[in-house]
Amino acid sequence: MMKTIVRKIGLVAHDAMKKDMIEWVLWNSERLIGHKFYCTGTTGTLIKKALEEKHPETEWDITILKSGPLGGDQQMGSRIVEGEIDYLFFFTENIVFCCNRSTADHIISSPLFLDPTYKRIHPDYTNYTQRFENKEIVSEAVERVKKRMSRNENNMIE
């Protein structure tokens, strides 16, 4: 028997795509039962209401963040950076490379979606985060500003 795995799923939808996102979630609700959801404010509120209406007996684990423009996008981003989100389904109005219903269907129908042995690859950003170590960038900037200020003061005196 395969171990049950809980995926942490972010759900975001622009206003013109909210209805499509809700329909997609409802269509796939049986497959999504038991997973943890993080949703931006309005999208999450609408999805939670729709899921509770379709499955009144199911307790959904949904964290509703702030509305996207009021900080929810940043909250979602921070959870992605911290590794708290396994999948982000973002239905957008005008960005082609983001997720839509067909790619979302493809992802959750993949055998990897529920495979407990599948581990998401977390890139090592050590080189990036340490790129300024052992560099005198701050002291050099401070010295340049001091020199400019000194020149400006000298020019004002003359």
What does 18-38 look like in DSSP terms, one character per residue?
Answer: HHHHHHHHHHTHHHHTT-EEE
Question: 3-class DSSP state for residue 63?
Answer: strand
What integer is the mean pLDDT of 11-31? 92
Residue 73 appears among annotated catalytic residues? yes
In whole angstroms, what is the distance from residue 124 CA to residue 83 CA?
13
Q: Give the SS3 label for residue 143.
A: helix
pLDDT, tens digit, for every residue of 92-121? 876 544 466 777 777 778 887 788 887 766
Distance, CA of 7 to CA of 116 (rounded, Å): 10
Q: Quick one: pLDDT at residue 67?
A: 93
Residues 28, 54 contacting (CB under 8 angstroms)? no
Cα–Cα dist 67/73, whole Å? 8
Nearest of 108, 83, 93, 107 to residue 13 by alpha carbon: 93
Q: Which residue among the candidates 15, 20, 61, 73 is catalytic per the annotation? A: 73
pLDDT of 148 higher than 90: no
Percent of the chain with pLDDT over 70: 90
Do 11 and 51 touch, CB atoms closer than 8 A? no
The whole-number pLDDT of residue 104 equals 76
pLDDT of residue 34: 95
Give the pLDDT mean for 57-68: 96
Mean pLDDT of the chain: 86
